[in-house]
Structure 1
Amino acid sequence: MEVKREVSDESLAEMSVYSQQLLYGLNELRQRQLLCDVVLIADDAKVAAHRVVLAGCSPYFRAMFTGSLVEKDKPEIELQSVDSIGLRTIVEYAYRGSVVISQHNVQSVLPAANLFQLTPLLRNCCRFLQSQLHPSNCLGIWKFAETHSCFDLYNKVFSFILQHFTKVMRTEEFKDLTVEEVCEVLCQDNLSVSSERCVLEAVDLWLQADLPSRRDSLKNLLPCIRLSQLPLTVLNKFLDSHQHLIEDSICRKLIEEALGDKLDAERRLKRSKADCSSCRARCPSKALCAVGGKCGLFASLDSVEIYCALNRSWTEITPLSTCRNECAVTSVSSRLYVLGGIICENRENGTYRYHDNRVEYWDPESNVWHEKSPMIHRRSAFAVVTFQENLYALGGYDGQVYHRSVERYCWQSDEWTPVTAMQQCRSCFSACILEGFIYVIGGYGPPCLNSVEKYDPVSKEWGNGDPMVEKRINYGAGVACGCLFVVGGHNGCSNLSSVERYDPVGDQWTNVTGIDRQGQD
């Protein structure tokens, strides 16, 4: 009959103390070179050790000392693929069960831990490298992980590269990549860029680092650039600068397809439905956020929920610092920003409502909200967009005045700056980024509007676009396949079910299939 014995906490503590004493005693014997029966050599370093200790912690040494290898009985063994720092650290780990991983030794310790099959130590090295990730070093760590077959680290570093690509592309490490490595990064659907212009700029930065030898590599990189996602003026300028691409039949076909897509919105949409990668916008992993809002006629919310499409679930995070509705929300540098809106506070004499200009952001790593510099103007029912890592707050209502003012926020300096105002006052509207321009559409002036304006952040000027077919407020808007879509809303008299599509090349709105029911956003 089997008898199961329970081990008490005291017994476990005694075993732990005994293990520590045993390791300490063995390490003391090694340091005094007593009873050592093997000397390991790497570079010019010789390290004495006990075969039984090495074999006990490492499958590599166990096979070497207990099998039929020639090193089994050799008093001195010269090791390849490991340097002196790696060897000394590995032997120290064998006798102590722990070592300090640092920037100075990780590049030696990881290959040694990998070679000697010390999985816990290898895992610690990978965790350390992951904790040190920065745009300036991630490409080096990526290639290092690939060299040593650390695939979990490789995948995590690659995700970091894609997420922080706009900074990574400006580093010296990026300029040192091979054309194959550049292609591997640029062809990814989830490359995090504000527009395809960033990809074109990255290619140019890489080419200019060694133009004479890299000029011919452009034909290898061209399929990675989603040419139909570029503004027509940018595409034409690019082609004018690289006339030699026309001579290559594959490049010429890609260019012709891109120009055809740019000039024909219907063709572009059909090719997108056919899963044509050149017509798809980059799609970094995103989450849907529900922030604040109203609960009933007067009550406002401070709750924030995030929807993850991967597991189809909502998660509630730390609430806002105060209840808000009619606020604006955007993201930049993996932070969720909430701006302005109407604040509702309970006071002794009742509920107090006021329009706000405060700004706060949520850090997903700490799950904490941080307050930042307030906007210049108080705003509710306004629009906010992120362009090239700057926030633009546009229009809105402050309780007394409808705004046409626009202000830009730089998150690195935490400063708001006024920029050129819109031509019309707008509230209850949407703004979108399309082909490098900021589009503002419809809204309430008063009255209800169907006019469209677009802002060029380079020239800092506003221009007019083709007006929508319908006047709209409180509608949904988004960009897909190089076109702008508006959905539903209210025209001042009734709810709308119609959907319109705007083609920036032809500067024209077209009615498309409507939604099943009327409603506001």
Structure 2
Amino acid sequence: MISLRCHVLGCLQYHSSGQRLKLWKGQIGLLYFRSSVSVCILLCPQIGDHKFSAHRIVLAASIPYFHAMFTNDMMECKQDEIVMQGMDPSALEALINFAYNGHLAIDQQNVQSLLMGASFLQLQSIKDACCTFLRERLHPKNCLGVRQFAETMMCAVLYDAANSFVHQHFVEVSMSEEFLALPLEDVLELVSRDELNVKSEEQVFEAALAWFLSDRVQQDDLVRCCHKCRDLVDEAKDYHLMPERRPHLPAFRTRPRCCTSIAGLIYAVGGLNSAGDSLNVVEVFDPIANRWEKCHPMTTARSRVGVAVVNGLLYAIGGYDGQLRLSTVEVYNPETDTWTRVGSMNSKRSAMGTVVLDGQIYVCGGYDGNSSLNSVETYSPETDKWTVVTPMSSNRSAAGVTVFEGRIYVSGGHDGLQIFNSVEHYNHHTATWHPAAGMLNKRCRHGAASLGSKMFVCGGYDGSGFLSIAEMYSSVADQWSLIVPMHTRRSRVSLVASCGRLYAVGGYDGQSNLSSVEMYDPETDRWTFMAPMACHEGGVGVGCIPLLTI
């Protein structure tokens, strides 16, 4: 039996309101049995001599396992005593009592045996309740054990929840005894996961080193006598000491991990009202609760604003206040619900792309009131300074910009004369721009975001119509493919990832500004409407602050 430690104490009182009704219905259906009033004795010989008496009719009406036993002319239906192999006596007694009164108390001492017993007796509702109990008490010190137990019991939902918890809390998990006790194959599988939530690869290295030093392997044999290990160490040294060689290293070793399962709060910043006026309004969306709430407004009204998140802080950058393009920047602290001014950009710009890479904010292109821009600036929160870096190859306003596989990708946009389908990406190590495969459709004012191993664009305007179509890019194939379109045509739409899903927020459908929100699930390739914004009607900038940083 696997040892599970629940670090959040408590007891789940499970009641089945339909249990007694089900029992009486079952009695009516089973009255033809001559043995309906008889009592059978259930024996558990594993630990001592445990005997439990119960009515066949009650067991058959309430527990699928016994229903199959007593209604299919099996040998046990004629026996007065039935031996139950592989059942914990206390769990069996609790489940028999549940068959009579519809009540079951689940706690950390009995949850494992109850789940095993419920699985054996095919009591899916009890099994689900036990899984819920364990899922709500996941902790860095028990999640690996819960995951192993869930896999053994074929509890897919619990396994996925525990697996996601391991990825989200990897640093804390790596300090647990369960992690140090993992076999080599499991450690290799875990540290290779792209979904690990880590600030730097050093945290993964430190976790692997802690496991390595736990006297479970022969250290000399594994490193000093292994040419592959020495080659990897040399490659890592080259990466840090010779930055110019980084573009030539294998991409899968150097690109950042992407923990797509992390839940985050989505902030809608600035934008427009129904009359087309710029707003200073800010509201936040909880994708788990599917609810919007109003936050403290910005000091300045901003539409077509750039939004970035660094270290749990939300930056509102540039934009248009209804009269002028802006270079000013303000930052929001969700803990204090306050805005503070920080250093301004070198150029005024709205409709630019804004991303974060290696803790630095990048703004790409945009419109300064006279023309579309190709200039790019980067901001350091530590120094509160903006620096101009290598410009893009094309002037681009209203382009889609996102970070994908450690590079900044800029897609589409317009230069005032034409709308592009072209794509280019920026290598911040070499400060160079490179072309990538063009989108299938030209578009500007579209949403762009990355999720896992794919990059997505949706909506926008192609010069003749407002778009609902969406595309997905694979860097392995260096090509785009269509995914299912959104339900609504959306120009000036913002796209953001949270909880392993994409959220298309607001926009303009050609007739009116939109407050509606759609969520895309890449596993099902479907869009679903979510709760609409409460205070905005399109043109918002969006940023997602992970819940773990709030």
TM-score normalized by the length of structure 1: 0.62
Distance 1:414 1:206 in 2: 39
Structure 2 residue 192 is the aligned partner of structure 1 residue 183: no
Letter of the structure 2 residue corresponding to residue 506 of structure 1: T
Match of 1:339 in 2: 269
The 10-residue stretch of structure 1 (124-133 or 379-388) with the greater mean CA deviation from structure 2: 124-133
Structure 2 residue 510 is the aligned partner of structure 1 residue 505: no
Structure 2 residue 84 is the aligned partner of structure 1 residue 82: no
In terms of fraction of residues, the more helix-rich structure is 1
SS in 2 for 1:403: strand
Contact 1:169/1:202, CA 8 A, preserved across alignment: no
1:519 CA drift (Å): 5.5
1:383 CA drift (Å): 0.9
Match of 1:408 in 2: 331
Gaps of 5+ in 2: 1-19, 31-36, 446-550
Bigger Rg over Cα: 1
Distance 1:246 1:491 in 2: 57
Match of 1:307 in 2: none
SS in 2 for 1:343: coil
Distance 1:18 1:512 in 2: 66
SS in 2 for 1:444: coil
> Which is bigger in relative contact order (C-alpha 8 A, separation at least 6)?
2
1:298-337 → structure 2 map (5 Å cutoff): 333-337=263-267
1:427 CA drift (Å): 1.8
Question: Which string of whole-angstrom CA distances, capped at 9 and with x for unpartnered residues, describes residues 460-516 of structure 1?
Answer: 544332233444322222333433232343445655565443221211234566668
Question: Which string of whole-angstrom CA distances, capped at 9 and with x for unpartnered residues, describes residues 193-221 of structure 1?
Answer: 4xx6445424425645895547978999x
Q: 1:278 aligns with which of 253, 263, 280?
A: 253
Contact 2:44/2:88, CA 8 A, preserved across alignment: no
Letter of the structure 2 residue corresponding to residue 397 of structure 1: Y
Distance 1:204 1:80 in 2: 42
Match of 1:146 in 2: 151
Q: 2:297 aligns with which of 369, 374, 378?
A: 374
Distance 1:50 1:359 in 2: 62
SS in 1 for 2:430: coil
SS in 1 for 2:158: helix
1:22 CA drift (Å): 12
1:129 CA drift (Å): 3.3
Distance 1:46 1:517 in 2: 71
1:139 CA drift (Å): 3.7
Question: Which string of whole-angstrom CA distances, capped at 9 and with x for unpartnered residues, describes residues 53-75 of structure 1?
Answer: 69744748959x9659xxx7879
Letter of the structure 2 residue corresponding to residue 485 of structure 1: Y
Label 1:219 to 1:367 Cα distance change in 2 as closer, same or farther (>3 A): farther
1:19 CA drift (Å): 5.1
The 10-residue stretch of structure 1 (379-388 or 411-420) with the greater mean CA deviation from structure 2: 411-420
Distance 1:120 1:154 in 2: 17
Label 1:78 to 1:53 Cα distance change in 2 as closer, same or farther (>3 A): same
Distance 1:477 1:491 in 2: 15
Question: Which string of whole-angstrom CA distances, capped at 9 and with x for unpartnered residues, describes residues 91-138 of structure 1?
Answer: 313444553434553233112323455444324323443455566754
Match of 1:482 in 2: 406
1:441 CA drift (Å): 1.9
Match of 1:454 in 2: 378
Distance 2:280 2:117 in 1: 56
Letter of the structure 2 residue corresponding to residue 503 of structure 1: N
Distance 1:497 1:119 in 2: 51
Match of 1:226 in 2: none
Letter of the structure 1 residue corresponding to residue 110 of structure 2: N
Distance 1:409 1:358 in 2: 12
Match of 2:307 in 1: 384
Structure 2 residue 401 is the aligned partner of structure 1 residue 396: no
1:16 CA drift (Å): 5.8
Letter of the structure 2 residue corresponding to residue 509 of structure 1: W
1:283-298 → structure 2 map (5 Å cutoff): none
Contact 1:42/1:78, CA 8 A, preserved across alignment: no
Match of 1:313 in 2: none
Match of 2:358 in 1: 435
1:457 CA drift (Å): 3.8
Contact 1:396/1:428, CA 8 A, preserved across alignment: yes
Label 1:141 to 1:376 Cα distance change in 2 as closer, same or farther (>3 A): farther
Gaps of 5+ in 1: 1-12, 24-29, 221-244, 287-331, 345-350
1:385 CA drift (Å): 2.2
1:429 CA drift (Å): 0.8
Contact 2:316/2:331, CA 8 A, preserved across alignment: yes
Label 1:460 to 1:183 Cα distance change in 2 as closer, same or farther (>3 A): farther
Distance 2:22 2:148 in 1: 42
Distance 1:503 1:14 in 2: 66
Distance 1:280 1:214 in 2: 30
1:104-143 → structure 2 map (5 Å cutoff): 105-130=110-135, 132=137, 138-143=143-148
Distance 2:341 2:264 in 1: 25
Distance 2:51 2:376 in 1: 76
SS in 2 for 1:341: coil
Match of 1:49 in 2: 53
TM-score normalized by the length of structure 2: 0.59
Distance 2:416 2:220 in 1: 53
Contact 2:27/2:58, CA 8 A, preserved across alignment: no
Label 1:509 to 1:284 Cα distance change in 2 as closer, same or farther (>3 A): same
1:455 CA drift (Å): 2.5
Label 1:52 to 1:365 Cα distance change in 2 as closer, same or farther (>3 A): same
Distance 1:437 1:253 in 2: 31
Question: Which string of whole-angstrom CA distances, capped at 9 and with x for unpartnered residues, describes residues 158-180 of structure 1?
Answer: 24544x34686587577556254
1:430 CA drift (Å): 0.9
SS in 1 for 2:301: coil
Label 1:401 to 1:177 Cα distance change in 2 as closer, same or farther (>3 A): farther
1:437 CA drift (Å): 2.2
Identity %: 30
Label 1:450 to 1:123 Cα distance change in 2 as closer, same or farther (>3 A): closer
Distance 2:386 2:221 in 1: 37
1:46 CA drift (Å): 4.5
Label 1:81 to 1:212 Cα distance change in 2 as closer, same or farther (>3 A): same
Label 1:48 to 1:481 Cα distance change in 2 as closer, same or farther (>3 A): closer
Label 1:198 to 1:45 Cα distance change in 2 as closer, same or farther (>3 A): farther
RMSD: 4.7
